[in-house]
Structure 1
């Protein structure tokens, strides 16, 4: 039924014409239901719809208020003119409208004085027993958290059927790897995913030694390797991803100490290793006796694909974070580490001062347990699909590579464009994109390509930005 949307339309009209002013508090949902003679559940749907439209905001313990400045009003830049604040298609932090309300509901019990005092105490890399248990379940294969019942969680029950189907898919997806349920003691924590990656590399690769990476890789790994004195070795890839025989050939020529890999939604290319390639790569790594750091930061968008750690658990450090899955300000990095590597990775975390926030871990434990993480991840998967469909339509005719579930795409520019010139032309129109050089390990083989992040702008802004980028690409550098 759409009755609740009609009521939401009335409230939206009152906000638009000034009858409800910025900062004004709405009645409680129960009072609103009595005044309107509607069910409490319908009142809840009205309020969630207003939050989704970003017209109101809920504050824990205080109530629901009209936004002081609704997002998007007066904030859309004129893309035909240089913008002081560019449309950011570089940084890629997905946000869905319903997530703040879900976070607030889960945080309410944590704000009691006793719970808050416990959550604000210092905490080490091993976290707490509850945190280790929750995060071990979060990454298990097949998933044990985002399972039957998640489609009924707050924020998902009222979502479109496509979103609910995505939420249910985790329990029904057929596995193409052995079941993997890491022990609680295998989990270590840091303040961010970047810190987890840095600690893993520091533990595995001594200064001056070699780390194998895909020829186009995550820029943070390049920066971390430089600080640690690690030499990056670019490994050839094809349309399926990293080639096991190429890895073996490079290792024979000059031995590697470890491999850094993004098997699901590789950044920047967006590809995911198919089952046959994952199996072959796992066998090759066992033969070569090489450890691997699996970057799973974006893997929540592909819950139907197993972690590489499920195929080679004895030699894989799985690195993950909540920054993309939830929100950048709620970052908590974590790793699942094999027994023999746990002490060196833990020592690297401690020596780097990369301990986690106790408050972030406690909040995450509650959100994992009450279904918030599952609901937000499901909504972001639906959002990513919608943005990819938009990008494919507006960039039709160009050479674009992307996974349908990804929040970014790789654009091979038409000749005679070069990446730097295209980035500069886009910047003059107030749009920031990332040149291929940011991802290239060997600067002598930088392609004429850019990565376009799709997550940050609102959809209308993203559409106008992509239209502008397409116009720039068709016009050529001289124009």
Structure 2
């Protein structure tokens, strides 16, 4: 069989998902049964399922099987809506994607266009379209240091590097710190793209327990003692997907573990801009803003951030604040992966930071996120303890653009995702965030940022109705 045969079969399954032959939440056959049905080897079937998982089309749950995800690239979205409408004998509801999370506020395009105008002069544009080094320009480093500064901590500009976006910054950091076969500690529920990055660079993710403040220091130490970790990826502020934030005391404890065992952390601060002064009421947080983990262990932490959530995903810059001894190593990693930032994006970022565009858009997004949280609480009926009217519990932060819903006990995640998709609303099953096969949470993450607020309210109302229904009943599971 040709080496690329598994991709051909994966393409066939992808087409079946896109056309609606395979519906969201539908369980695929076991790999052995799939191999028999398709006339392929078991080893090829394993690679097909791995490829479908890599593309984000399916999700596997230990002990349950492999399921089609809710919003497998959305040629199927319209078909799903039409089928749901036909079943209900009524008008089709709008297809709303609450998996994606790209915040864009009114007026930000006009603000950004002003900063771009000077770049369109022919003489300036010529320089801005040249290649850029990993270290960018002195102006870019000074501007990035201003954006990253918080709680009295400011990175040294000479230790700043640039990638095309935040994901590339994470990939460059992990590939620079870990060789193939290396072990990387992560929160047991983590950013899904880190799972994809790990697969591509050949490292193994080691799930580390979390609590109400994120990664547990003792669990990190235990993971390293069981077999040495090459690095740890951690999100101390507004952790995705749980929205939890580590207080200053927790950050100091994590820093102590890093130092004791010689572990280097990759600190993802991408969503931290939504917290202006640090959350209140956290144990050990103190009265002021929260300093990053990089302030507690600067010699052991690579801080990564980007402008994608602050501004827009299509024209962005990833930033890395490197420990003193890792600047050249990380720069080599950026070059090797072709992950360096385009010069045009760097020039645009410098102007947007200098003219106040970034600051203005950030303030607008903080207000927007807070407003969407209010809509969430109202439409799902969430009380002060996070309990949902239809059952289950929501975990989130008043300033976050996403929430984690531990579903009512009568619902499992995949049937709920399928029932919601049949009503025109796509959410992400909890298993997509699980770093290890031991965890298959009956929960969903809801992204609040992308749709207009009125559409968001309607979609959340649909989710509440689905949750109040009975799994498998007509109108609930579609």
TM-score (norm 1): 0.74
> Which residue is 1:196 aligned to?
169
Taking the TM superposition and a 5 Å limit, the aligned residue runs for 1:386-405 are 386-396=371-381, 397-398=387-388, 399-405=393-399
Alignment partners' CA distance in 1, 2:220 and 2:113: 47
How far apart, in 2, do the equivalents of 1:216 and 1:79 lie? 33
Aligned counterparts of 2:179 and 2:94: Cα–Cα separation in 1:
41
SS of structure 1 residue aligned to 2:403: strand
In the TM superposition, residue 86 of structure 1 has moved relative to its aligned partner by: 2.3
How is 1:185-334 mapped onto 2 (pairs within 5 angstroms)? 185-304=158-277, 305-334=290-319
| In structure 2, distance between residues paired with 1:99 and 1:223 | 31
Range with greater deviation from structure 2 (391-400 or 199-208): 391-400
2: CA distance between counterparts of 1:218 and 1:291? 19
Deviation track 1:6-44 (CA, whole Å, cap 9, x = no partner) reads xxxxxxxxxxxxxxxxxxxxxxxxxxxxxxxxxxxxxxx
Q: Deviations over 1:344-365 (max 9, x none)?
A: 1111110111121111110110
Q: Does 1:127 align with 2:112?
A: no
Cα displacement (A) at 1:339: 1.6
Distance in structure 2 (CA, Å) of the matches to 1:250 and 1:355: 32
Aligned residue among 81, 86, 101 for 2:85? 81
Residue ranges of structure 1 left out of the alignment (5+ in a row): 1-76, 143-178
The change in CA–CA distance for 1:369 and 1:283 in structure 2 (over 3 A counts) is same
Rounded Cα–Cα distance in structure 1 between residues aligned with 2:236 and 2:192 = 16
Equivalence for 1:92? 101
Cα distance, 1:78 vs structure 2: 9.9
User: Deviation digits for residues 413-470 of structure 1, max 9, x if unmatched?
Assistant: 0022111111111111111100011100122321100000000000110000000000
**Who is 2:433 aligned against?**
439
Do the aligned residues in 1 keep the contact of 2:83 with 2:422 (CA within 8 Å)?
Answer: no
Q: Which residue of 2 aligns with 1:26?
A: none
Tell me the distance in 1 between the aligned counterparts of 2:120 and 2:207: 48
Candidates 94, 101, 115, aligned match of 2:124 = 115
Task: Measure, in 2, the Cα distance between the counterparts of 1:391 and 1:426.
Answer: 16
CA-CA distance at 1:84 after TM superposition: 8.9
Q: How many residues align?
A: 367
Separation in 2, partners of 1:244, 1:291: 14
Q: Report what 2:62 is aligned to.
A: none
Given that 2:96 and 2:424 are in contact with CA atoms closer than 8 Å, whether structure 1 keeps it comes out as: yes
Q: 1:364 aligns with which of 334, 343, 349?
A: 349
Do the aligned partners of 2:85 and 2:93 also contact (CA within 8 Å) in 1?
no
- Offset, 1:292: 0.2
- Which residue among 375, 378, 400 is the counterpart of 2:360? 375
**Structure 2 partner of 1:471:** 465
Q: Do the aligned residues in 2 keep the contact of 1:84 with 1:430 (CA within 8 Å)?
A: yes
Q: Distance in 1 between matches of 2:438 and 2:221?
A: 23
Q: Which deviates further from its counterpart, 311-320 or 261-270?
A: 311-320
Write the distance in 2 (CA, Å) between the matches of 1:476 and 1:333. Answer: 44
- The whole-number CA distance in structure 2 between the counterparts of 1:303 and 1:201 is 28
Offset at residue 80 of structure 1 (A): 7.4
SS at match of 2:299: coil
Q: TM-score, normalised by structure 2?
A: 0.75
In 2, the alpha carbon distance for the partners of 1:331 and 1:270 equals: 23
User: How is 1:5-154 mapped onto 2 (pairs within 5 angstroms)?
Assistant: 81=85, 86-142=95-151
Structure 2 distance, partners of 1:352, 1:240, is 33
The 8 Å contact of residues 93 and 423 in structure 2, kept in 1 or not, is answered as no
CA contact (8 A) 1:79 1:468 kept: no
Give the deviation of 1:79 after TM superposition. 12
| 8 Å Cα contact 1:141/1:310 also seen in 2 | no
Give the alignment partner of residue 451 of structure 2, picking from 454, 457, 473: 457
For 1:462 and 1:211, the matched residues in 2 are separated by 36
1:293 counterpart SS class: strand
Matched, 1:428 2:422: yes
| Residue 71 of structure 1: aligned partner | none
Question: Residues 182 and 308 (structure 1 numbering): CA distance in 2 closer, same or farther, change over 3 Å?
Answer: same
Contact residue 431 and residue 439 of structure 2 kept, 8 A: no
Does the aligned pair in 2 maintain the 1:293–1:316 contact within 8 Å? yes
Gaps of 5+ in 2: 1-80, 87-91, 278-289, 382-386, 474-478
Contact 1:79 1:430 in 2 (8 A): no
| CA distance in 2: counterparts of 1:348 and 1:104, whole angstroms | 32
Report the CA distance between 1:120 and its aligned residue. 1.1
